[in-house]
Amino acid sequence: MKLSIKVFIVLLSALWIGCEGDYRQKATGSFGQVIVVMDSSQFQSQTAEALRQTYGEWTQTIPGKPPRFDLTFRDFNTNDQLEQLKRYRNLIIAAPITDSTNTADFMRALLSEDVEQQVRSGESFAFPIKDQWYRDQWVMLLSATSDSALAKQIHNSQQTLTENLVQKELQRWKAEIYDQGEKIALEDSVWDNHGWKIRIQHDWVKHLDTTYTHKGEENNFLTIRRKLPNNDRWFWAWWKKVDNINQVDNDWINAKRDSLMKKWIRGSRDSSYVTTEYRREVNTKSFTLNDDIAYETLGTWRMTNDAMGGPFANLTIFDDESGRLFMLEFGQFAPKYNKRRFVRQFRAMLRTFESDSTWKSPNQDSMQEQ
């Protein structure tokens, strides 16, 4: 059945939304769920398989290796069906630009003539759209001159495509986490006493806050915890003043993590402590956070001399103005739960990190007075 599709652009409504705030309904759908709008005849196409291998790829750094996103392929034959699909928060609309399917017609209606020509000439193939029909909505239009050409483009741009949606999900988790409340007093205490902070969920509790000397240098270590039945989560932070970060790379980060956890993150037995599980994938990527160099490390941990393990998310960041190197990490032990959503919560919380670049420790102040 051929479907006639009309796209209306109401400039007045767009101006109202921009000036007064967006009062439309929020998009529906679960965290991590992606609806792929595609003609049913193409559910086993090269494009569909490319989407499964990118957006649906197994996550090697999380126990159980969950898919990056849960993909559901959907077609439509009526305007009512299309309107239902347009309500979802994560939508991928994929079709060759030359097809005669309902999805292809819908795709062409969404693209301007100039953009459609870019697709036909092979200049562009991916077009992210924000809040197209509902608030908090992510839409990705994917199109090329043929099924094989589109599949190739998706494979070649896997990291860019998937990271675009991951960052959107992290923003959503940040809003979700702190909407339930946060420990403002604890955040302020860490800021006042140590010159840095992260936003802390309402039911986390500080466990340890200490300063110690290692090889004649002052080090600092802090832990907070959220211990629930069958879902134990913890956070630790280490920081010290350094001259430079020339030594910081993947190997240094993991060696430092392991040495800190051996000292501070211990098990119930005297000989047990948390360490990195190197038999599974451990990934480190660099990025910029608050104009500082940062490294995010994702992987799994294990408990020595015990049958325990789980995921971790680590942030290593250097505040060059205060000359302090920070290492912050969330970990979890929750055998009964899917870990993907918790790891994304950890990653979202780590990105709330702030450092007071004017900070001077009490020891520095006393030395200057002398």
What is the β-pairing status of strands 274-276 and 292-303?
antiparallel
Question: Residue 270 — very low, low, confident or very high, per pLDDT cuts 50/70/90?
Answer: confident
> What's the CATH number where 41 sits?
3.30.379
Instruction: State how far the alpha carbon of 249 is from the alpha carbons of 254, 276, 293, 298, in Å.
Output: 9, 16, 12, 14
Q: What is the pLDDT of residue 216?
A: 93
Query: Are 121 and 151 members of one domain?
Result: yes
Query: Are 200 and 104 members of one domain?
Result: no
- Here the contacts of 151-157 (C-beta below 8 Å, separation 24 or greater) are 151/45, 151/46, 151/47, 151/49, 151/50, 152/50, 153/125, 153/126, 154/47, 154/50, 154/51, 154/54, 155/50, 155/53, 155/54, 157/125, 157/126
Query: Are 138 and 184 members of one domain?
Result: no
What is the β-pairing status of strands 138-142 and 90-94?
parallel
Query: Are 184 and 333 members of one domain?
Result: yes
Q: In the predicted model, is pLDDT for residue 369 greater than 70?
A: no
Interatomic CA distance for residues 65 and 71, integer angstroms: 15
Q: What is the pLDDT of residue 20?
A: 54
Query: Are 129 and 60 members of one domain?
Result: yes
> What's the CATH number where 298 sits?
3.40.1000.10
Question: Residue 154 — very low, low, confident or very high, per pLDDT cuts 50/70/90?
Answer: very high
Residue 109 near residue 5, CB atoms below 8 Å: yes
Show which of 147, 170, 193 is a domain's final residue.
170
Residue 234 within a domain? yes
Query: Are 92 and 160 members of one domain?
Result: yes
Q: In the predicted model, is pLDDT for residue 169 greater than 50?
A: yes
Query: Are 332 and 230 members of one domain?
Result: yes
Predicted TM-score of the model (pTM): 0.91
Interatomic CA distance for residues 41 and 54, integer angstroms: 21
Mean pLDDT along residues 234-254: 97
* pLDDT above 70: percentage of residues in the chain: 92
Show which of 122, 147, 170 is a domain's final residue.
170
Q: What is the pLDDT of residue 300?
A: 99
Question: Residue 363 — very low, low, confident or very high, per pLDDT cuts 50/70/90?
Answer: low
Number of structural domains found in the chain: 2
Q: Please write the tens of the pLDDT for every residue from 47-76.
A: 999 999 999 999 999 999 999 999 999 999
Residue 1 within a domain? no
Mean pLDDT along residues 267-286: 95
Show which of 141, 170, 199 is a domain's final residue.
170
Residue 3 within a domain? no
Mean pLDDT along residues 37-55: 98
Query: Are 75 and 36 members of one domain?
Result: yes
The range of the structural domain enclosing residue 266 comes to: 180-369
Residue 2 within a domain? no
Mean pLDDT along residues 122-126: 97
Q: In the predicted model, is pLDDT for residue 309 greater than 70?
A: yes
Q: In the predicted model, is pLDDT for residue 16 greater than 70?
A: no
